[in-house]
Amino acid sequence: MSLIQIKDKCFRTFIPEEQIQKEVIRVADEISRDLQGEAPVFISVLNGAFMFTSDLMKNLSIPCEISFVKLASYQGTVSTGEVKELVGLNTDISGRTVVIVEDIVDTGLTMQALIKKISAYHPKEIRIATLLLKPEKLKIDLAIDYVAMHIPNDFIVGYGLDYEGLGRNYRDIYTIVE
Protein backbone atom coordinates (compact mmCIF):
# COMPACT_ATOMS: atom_id res chain seq x y z
CA MET A 1 0.00 0.00 0.00
CA SER A 2 1.25 3.49 -0.73
CA LEU A 3 0.13 6.84 0.55
CA ILE A 4 -0.15 10.04 -1.46
CA GLN A 5 -0.82 13.59 -0.37
CA ILE A 6 -2.94 15.92 -2.52
CA LYS A 7 -3.28 19.40 -1.07
CA ASP A 8 -4.76 18.94 2.43
CA LYS A 9 -5.89 15.33 1.95
CA CYS A 10 -4.14 11.98 2.30
CA PHE A 11 -5.07 8.98 0.15
CA ARG A 12 -4.06 5.30 0.17
CA THR A 13 -3.94 2.76 -2.66
CA PHE A 14 -7.38 1.20 -3.09
CA ILE A 15 -7.61 -0.44 -6.53
CA PRO A 16 -4.29 -1.29 -8.19
CA GLU A 17 -3.67 -0.77 -11.90
CA GLU A 18 -3.72 -4.52 -12.70
CA GLN A 19 -7.22 -4.93 -11.26
CA ILE A 20 -8.52 -1.84 -13.06
CA GLN A 21 -7.15 -3.11 -16.38
CA LYS A 22 -8.67 -6.57 -15.84
CA GLU A 23 -12.14 -5.09 -15.21
CA VAL A 24 -11.86 -2.62 -18.12
CA ILE A 25 -11.02 -5.51 -20.47
CA ARG A 26 -14.02 -7.45 -19.13
CA VAL A 27 -16.34 -4.49 -19.83
CA ALA A 28 -14.83 -3.99 -23.30
CA ASP A 29 -15.43 -7.68 -24.08
CA GLU A 30 -19.06 -7.43 -22.90
CA ILE A 31 -19.67 -4.34 -25.05
CA SER A 32 -17.99 -5.91 -28.09
CA ARG A 33 -20.18 -9.00 -27.68
CA ASP A 34 -23.46 -7.12 -27.01
CA LEU A 35 -23.07 -4.47 -29.70
CA GLN A 36 -21.70 -6.54 -32.55
CA GLY A 37 -23.10 -5.16 -35.82
CA GLU A 38 -24.27 -1.92 -34.17
CA ALA A 39 -21.23 0.35 -34.85
CA PRO A 40 -22.00 2.37 -31.68
CA VAL A 41 -21.04 5.95 -30.92
CA PHE A 42 -19.21 6.26 -27.59
CA ILE A 43 -19.84 9.52 -25.75
CA SER A 44 -17.09 10.07 -23.22
CA VAL A 45 -17.73 12.57 -20.42
CA LEU A 46 -14.74 14.82 -19.72
CA ASN A 47 -12.71 15.29 -17.70
CA GLY A 48 -12.93 12.27 -15.42
CA ALA A 49 -13.57 9.55 -18.01
CA PHE A 50 -10.58 10.24 -20.24
CA MET A 51 -8.34 7.44 -18.94
CA PHE A 52 -11.12 4.84 -18.72
CA THR A 53 -12.24 5.79 -22.23
CA SER A 54 -8.74 5.37 -23.62
CA ASP A 55 -8.26 1.89 -22.14
CA LEU A 56 -11.82 0.84 -23.01
CA MET A 57 -11.42 1.85 -26.66
CA LYS A 58 -8.10 0.01 -26.97
CA ASN A 59 -9.81 -3.21 -25.94
CA LEU A 60 -12.95 -3.04 -28.12
CA SER A 61 -13.10 -5.34 -31.13
CA ILE A 62 -16.05 -3.73 -32.95
CA PRO A 63 -16.15 -0.72 -35.28
CA CYS A 64 -17.00 2.36 -33.23
CA GLU A 65 -16.86 6.14 -33.17
CA ILE A 66 -16.18 8.47 -30.28
CA SER A 67 -17.18 11.95 -29.23
CA PHE A 68 -16.05 13.77 -26.07
CA VAL A 69 -18.53 15.95 -24.19
CA LYS A 70 -18.69 18.10 -21.11
CA LEU A 71 -21.57 19.12 -18.92
CA ALA A 72 -20.93 22.82 -18.47
CA SER A 73 -22.77 25.33 -16.33
CA TYR A 74 -25.26 27.24 -18.42
CA GLN A 75 -23.69 30.44 -19.72
CA GLY A 76 -26.90 32.37 -20.44
CA THR A 77 -28.25 35.42 -18.70
CA VAL A 78 -30.16 33.40 -16.14
CA SER A 79 -28.13 30.72 -14.44
CA THR A 80 -29.36 28.85 -11.41
CA GLY A 81 -26.05 27.06 -11.08
CA GLU A 82 -27.99 23.82 -11.47
CA VAL A 83 -28.75 23.97 -15.19
CA LYS A 84 -26.06 22.31 -17.24
CA GLU A 85 -25.63 22.27 -20.99
CA LEU A 86 -24.06 19.55 -23.03
CA VAL A 87 -21.08 20.82 -25.02
CA GLY A 88 -18.86 19.16 -27.60
CA LEU A 89 -21.17 16.61 -29.21
CA ASN A 90 -19.97 16.73 -32.83
CA THR A 91 -21.31 13.42 -34.15
CA ASP A 92 -24.79 12.86 -35.58
CA ILE A 93 -26.22 10.27 -33.19
CA SER A 94 -29.78 10.18 -34.49
CA GLY A 95 -30.79 6.56 -35.04
CA ARG A 96 -27.45 5.33 -33.64
CA THR A 97 -26.67 3.17 -30.65
CA VAL A 98 -24.92 5.34 -28.07
CA VAL A 99 -22.76 4.26 -25.13
CA ILE A 100 -22.21 6.97 -22.49
CA VAL A 101 -18.79 6.48 -20.88
CA GLU A 102 -18.50 7.94 -17.35
CA ASP A 103 -15.89 7.79 -14.63
CA ILE A 104 -18.21 7.36 -11.66
CA VAL A 105 -21.90 7.21 -10.87
CA ASP A 106 -22.54 8.49 -7.38
CA THR A 107 -26.09 9.82 -6.79
CA GLY A 108 -26.82 9.23 -10.49
CA LEU A 109 -28.11 12.77 -11.01
CA THR A 110 -25.35 13.68 -13.49
CA MET A 111 -26.10 10.57 -15.52
CA GLN A 112 -29.82 11.31 -15.44
CA ALA A 113 -29.14 14.81 -16.81
CA LEU A 114 -26.87 13.39 -19.50
CA ILE A 115 -29.43 10.83 -20.63
CA LYS A 116 -32.05 13.58 -20.91
CA LYS A 117 -29.74 15.79 -23.00
CA ILE A 118 -28.58 12.96 -25.27
CA SER A 119 -32.12 11.62 -25.76
CA ALA A 120 -33.00 14.95 -27.39
CA TYR A 121 -30.79 13.92 -30.36
CA HIS A 122 -32.99 10.85 -30.99
CA PRO A 123 -30.49 8.01 -30.73
CA LYS A 124 -31.73 4.47 -31.41
CA GLU A 125 -30.64 3.33 -27.94
CA ILE A 126 -28.60 4.67 -25.02
CA ARG A 127 -26.37 2.37 -22.99
CA ILE A 128 -24.30 3.37 -19.97
CA ALA A 129 -20.77 2.27 -19.15
CA THR A 130 -19.19 3.49 -15.93
CA LEU A 131 -15.80 2.73 -14.46
CA LEU A 132 -17.13 3.00 -10.90
CA LEU A 133 -20.48 2.82 -9.14
CA LYS A 134 -21.23 3.73 -5.53
CA PRO A 135 -24.45 1.69 -5.10
CA GLU A 136 -25.15 3.03 -1.59
CA LYS A 137 -25.32 6.59 -2.88
CA LEU A 138 -27.52 5.97 -5.92
CA LYS A 139 -30.64 8.11 -5.49
CA ILE A 140 -32.57 7.24 -8.61
CA ASP A 141 -33.62 4.19 -10.56
CA LEU A 142 -30.90 3.94 -13.21
CA ALA A 143 -30.27 0.96 -15.49
CA ILE A 144 -26.49 0.86 -15.83
CA ASP A 145 -25.47 -1.61 -18.50
CA TYR A 146 -21.75 -1.89 -17.79
CA VAL A 147 -19.97 -1.35 -14.45
CA ALA A 148 -16.25 -2.04 -14.16
CA MET A 149 -16.16 -1.84 -10.34
CA HIS A 150 -18.55 -1.29 -7.40
CA ILE A 151 -17.05 0.76 -4.57
CA PRO A 152 -18.12 1.91 -1.10
CA ASN A 153 -19.23 5.41 -0.35
CA ASP A 154 -15.78 7.04 0.07
CA PHE A 155 -14.06 9.77 -1.94
CA ILE A 156 -11.52 8.41 -4.43
CA VAL A 157 -8.93 9.84 -6.84
CA GLY A 158 -6.66 8.59 -9.59
CA TYR A 159 -7.12 6.97 -13.01
CA GLY A 160 -8.80 10.12 -14.33
CA LEU A 161 -10.53 11.22 -11.13
CA ASP A 162 -9.34 14.34 -9.31
CA TYR A 163 -9.29 16.13 -6.02
CA GLU A 164 -9.35 19.87 -6.71
CA GLY A 165 -7.89 19.33 -10.18
CA LEU A 166 -5.05 17.06 -9.07
CA GLY A 167 -4.51 13.31 -9.03
CA ARG A 168 -5.98 12.40 -12.43
CA ASN A 169 -2.61 11.07 -13.64
CA TYR A 170 -2.27 8.16 -11.20
CA ARG A 171 -2.45 4.65 -12.68
CA ASP A 172 -4.06 3.24 -9.50
CA ILE A 173 -7.21 4.38 -7.70
CA TYR A 174 -6.72 5.83 -4.21
CA THR A 175 -9.22 6.26 -1.38
CA ILE A 176 -9.27 9.07 1.16
CA VAL A 177 -7.70 8.50 4.58
CA GLU A 178 -9.85 10.35 7.11
Return the range that interacts with ligand 5GP (CB under 6 A); candidates 5-13, 50-58, 115-123, 155-163.
155-163
The three-class DSSP label of residue 166 is strand
Return d(Cα 133, Cα 113) in angstroms, integer. 17
Q: How far is the CB of 31 from ligand 5GP (least distance, A)?
A: 20
Residues 95-154 that bind ligand 5GP (CB under 6 A): 102-111
Bridge partners, residue 101, by sequence: 44, 129
Q: In the sheet where 173-177 sits, what is the strand order?
A: 3-6, 9-15, 173-177, 156-157
Catalytic residue numbers, as ranges: 106
What are the phi and psi torsion angles at 150 (to 5°)?
A: -95, 135
Q: Applying CB under 6 A, which of residues 21, 50, 89, 155 lies at the interface with ligand 5GP?
A: 155
Quick check: 43 binds ligand 5GP (CB under 6 A)? Answer: no
Give the binding site for ligand 5GP (CB under 6 A).
48, 102-111, 155-157, 161-162
